[in-house]
Copies of this chain bind each other. A is one copy, B any other.
Amino acid sequence: MHIDLLFTPVATNELFFRDKNVVVIDVLRASTSIVTALKNGAREVIPVESVENAVKVSGSLFGDVVLRCGEREGKIIPGFNLGNSPYEYTQDAVQNKSLIFTSTNGSFAMVKAKFARQIIIAAFVNIATVVDYLVDLNEDFVILCAGKEHLFCIEDAVCGGMIIQQIEKKIADIQRTDAAVAAQVLYKHFGRSIHKMLRNSEHGEYLISIGFEEDLKACATVDNVPVLPVYEKGVIKLRRAETTASN
């Protein structure tokens, strides 16, 4: 099994992902919020790159079965239903709704990987579920960290490293790129306190400064939202077997 990892989506072009298995990570907070929303009964999440596109895609259905969600500079977009805090994506708010979702880094990364064979959405909250799936799949894959405004961010790297670390325990023969090796080293260093790592990260500090300190706790929690969101044909849903099981 060959494992690659990208610290930011900007270093590659879209066709890089063609026919690959891709795991997209945006711990703070898009991945965490999307995982939470689907766990809480959202029908689907549709990631789009721009606010304009979110408005266009939601169209006249806006406010009924379709919610506009996401953030710019960490804050809810004016006129939208939900921001990017996982605490907003409650069952009351999202059940049976289609969520049009745009965030600065997460949805950009997801859309960038659109030519992939399949795209899995991962965060600390669903990491064991993601690992189990990848181990069963037993194919090469690429971890795509959303990063922060095209640059490296520590929390996505550590989450990617944690996935690799857990897979290494279950699969004997893995080859890793330099970036995958580095992410694993970063996980070994920071994994003891993910919450502390988030608090000290650049984006974590920013989120605290604008009032989202509690979000860091939600995003640091490991495996309390054990679902597997899959992004295909423009839509993120829970993997079919799980959807059936939970209904």
Q: Are A151 and B6 in contact, with the CB atoms below 8 A?
A: yes
Q: Are B181 and A12 in contact, with the CB atoms below 8 A?
A: no
Per-residue B-contact encoding for A127-149, CB less than 8 Å = 1, 0 else: 00000000000000000000010
The complex is assembled from copies of this chain, and their number is 2
A8 CA to B8 CA, complexed, in Å? 10
A202 CA to B202 CA, complexed, in Å? 29
Does A111 belong to the interface (CB within 8 Å)?
no
- Partner of A10 from the list B10, B152, B153, B157 (CB cut-off 8 Å) is B10
Does A117 belong to the interface (CB within 8 Å)?
no
User: Which of A43-51, A182-190, A211-219, A239-247 faces chain B?
Assistant: A182-190
- Partner of A185 from the list B10, B151, B189 (CB cut-off 8 Å) is B189
Q: Are B10 and A7 in contact, with the CB atoms below 8 A?
A: no
Does A201 belong to the interface (CB within 8 Å)?
yes
A154 CA to B10 CA, complexed, in Å? 18
A112 CA to B8 CA, complexed, in Å? 19
Q: Are A11 and B150 in contact, with the CB atoms below 8 A?
A: yes
Does A179 belong to the interface (CB within 8 Å)?
yes
Closest to A204 in B: B178
Most buried by B among A12, A181, A188, A203: A181
Contacting residues, chain B, for A201 (C-beta < 8 A): 178
Given the interface contacts A178-B202, A201-B178, A202-B178, does A11 sit within 8 Å of B185 by beta carbon? no
Contacting residues, chain B, for A6 (C-beta < 8 A): 151-152
Give the residues from 189 to 233 in chain A that come closer than 8 angstroms, CB to CB, to chain B: 189-190, 201-203
Contacting residues, chain B, for A202 (C-beta < 8 A): 177-178
A216 to chain B, nearest CB (A): 15
Closest to A200 in B: B181
Q: Are B12 and A11 in contact, with the CB atoms below 8 A?
A: no
Contacting residues, chain B, for A157 (C-beta < 8 A): 182
Per-residue B-contact encoding for A1-43, CB less than 8 Å = 1, 0 else: 0000011101110000000000000000000000000000000
A190 CA to B154 CA, complexed, in Å? 18
Q: Are B11 and A151 in contact, with the CB atoms below 8 A?
A: yes
Q: Are B182 and A186 in contact, with the CB atoms below 8 A?
A: yes
A211 to chain B, nearest CB (A): 21
Closest to A149 in B: B11
